[in-house]
Amino acid sequence: MKKVERINIIMRYINNRAHFTISEIMREFNISRSTAIRDIREIEAMGMPLVAEVGRDGGYFVMNNSVLPTVRFTDIEIKALFIAFMATRNQQLPYLKSRQSLAEKLLGLISENQQETLVLLNQILLFEGTNPNNPDLLDLSDLPHPMLEKLIQLLLLDRYLLITIKEEKVKKHYPIYLLHLYREKSLWLIEGFDLKDEKKKIVPVDDLTDVNPYPTKKRLTKKKILEKLRKQEEAINLVLELGPKAIAQFKKYHPLKVSISYTNPYQTTAILKTFIHVNNPEELTEITNWLLFLGGDIKVREVPEEVLEGLQERLCLFCP
């Protein structure tokens, strides 16, 4: 561990303790006594108000009502933060209304040499959704739906919601218990348990017109909701064996709810098991296209007839 990293970790370690000794620091971080003493002195020089206790059982403690000094990032951590920030361009993430402001504050925390490194990284690296001719250009779609931020703020307080959706020019209200909020194919989606119909419901955030807390007296408990969902779990009707090429394709893209289990230690073969709603034309089309995307390195163990018919229809489009 590098010195800067170790000192940052030691600062957090001692700030969370009422009392500590040099011996404890030596054992916890596997360092010598002289190194531990030098690190403590350097931490004191950085502004952490440590008070030394004299005596046989003496040690140190952090002065009451003190504030932990500013965390110092290593060069590697700064690059990781900046690259992660760059990679989210045009991703419709909440709380990113002012990327410029965030970038300026990040740059203001580091030295000029580190700033030059980040500017160079910005010129070299390109990510999906980036315009190669103007990497700093943000699409208008970069901003998420205005309801997304309000939705998250409510979720941090309560997961029982009354959502309002516009369907065929008519507003409809649905009481839900939110299970997950996720992003798939550039869309934010709500996966919730409909408290009225007592079944799982998927709603695009783009369809929301309003969201509010749901009255407490009409709620089902989380335990009952999960019990009802377990009883409603669909039987698996699609089972595939994937070879290395299909696994590589799977890693590039797969529906969020679909996962694989590796069948050898080298992760070159895997099994995929899931359920397909064959009565949902949109899902059926999506799965058909995705199976073609996986390529020929798959073996079918079980598949619904409707999916086979869809695959045959798609392949016939290329027949002479």
Please answer whether residues 147 and 208 qualify as being in contact, where contact means their C-beta atoms are separated by less than 8 angstroms: yes
pLDDT value of residue 94? 82
Question: For 177-208, b where at least 16 C-beta lie within 10 A, e where not — what string?
Answer: bbbebeeeeeebbbbbbebeeeebbebebebb
Check the CA dihedral 307-311-317-320 and report its sign: negative
Query: Distance between CA 230 and CA 215 in Å, rounded?
Result: 25
Q: Taking all residues of the chain, what is their mean pLDDT, rounded to a whole number?
A: 84
- Which of 73-77, 181-185, 289-293 has the largest mean confidence? 289-293
Closest CA to 83 of 125, 41, 48, 47: 125
Q: What are phi and psi of 50, to 5 degrees?
A: -95, 140
**Total-model pTM:** 0.64
Query: Distance between CA 306 and CA 1 in Å, rounded?
Result: 56
pLDDT value of residue 231? 85
Residue 140 is given by DSSP the state G
Tell me the average pLDDT across 82-108: 77
Please, which residues have CB within 8 angstroms of residue 53's CB and are 6 or more apart in sequence? 19, 59, 60, 61
Poorest-pLDDT segment among 24-28, 86-90, 208-212 = 86-90
The tokens describing 290, both together, are: 């995705």
- Burial level of 82, CB count in 10 A (0-12/13-18/19+)? buried
* pLDDT single digits (tens) 242-280: 999 999 999 998 888 888 999 999 999 999 999 988 888
Q: Which domains does the chain have, with CATH numbers?
A: 3-62 (1.10.10.10), 75-140 (no CATH), 146-231 (2.30.30), 238-316 (no CATH)
Q: For the chain, what percent of residues have pLDDT higher than 90?
A: 27
Closest CA to 103 of 89, 124, 113: 89
pLDDT value of residue 135? 66
Query: Distance between CA 147 and CA 166 in Å, rounded?
Result: 13
Considering only residues 54 and 89, tell me which one the structure prediction assigns the higher pLDDT.
89
* pLDDT single digits (tens) 206-246: 899 999 999 877 788 889 999 998 888 778 999 999 999 99
Poorest-pLDDT segment among 9-23, 125-139, 145-159, 185-199 = 125-139
* CA–centroid distance for 25 within its chain: 34
Please answer whether residues 270 and 261 qualify as being in contact, where contact means their C-beta atoms are separated by less than 8 angstroms: yes
Query: Distance between CA 23 and CA 194 in Å, rounded?
Result: 57
**Residue 192: beta bridge partners?**
178, 201
Please, which residues have CB within 8 angstroms of residue 114's CB and are 6 or more apart in sequence? 75, 78
Please answer whether residues 108 and 100 qualify as being in contact, where contact means their C-beta atoms are separated by less than 8 angstroms: no
* Residue carrying structure tokens 């980036």: 130
Please, which residues have CB within 8 angstroms of residue 191's CB and are 6 or more apart in sequence? 178, 179, 180, 181, 182, 200, 201, 202
Is the predicted pLDDT of residue 48 greater than 70, yes or no?
yes
Please answer whether residues 218 and 199 qualify as being in contact, where contact means their C-beta atoms are separated by less than 8 angstroms: no
* pLDDT single digits (tens) 113-161: 888 888 888 888 888 767 677 766 666 556 778 888 899 999 988 999 9
Please answer whether residues 253 and 278 qualify as being in contact, where contact means their C-beta atoms are separated by less than 8 angstroms: no
Please answer whether residues 193 and 228 qualify as being in contact, where contact means their C-beta atoms are separated by less than 8 angstroms: yes
pLDDT value of residue 119? 83
Please, which residues have CB within 8 angstroms of residue 169's CB and are 6 or more apart in sequence? none
By three-state DSSP, how is residue 274 classified?
Answer: strand
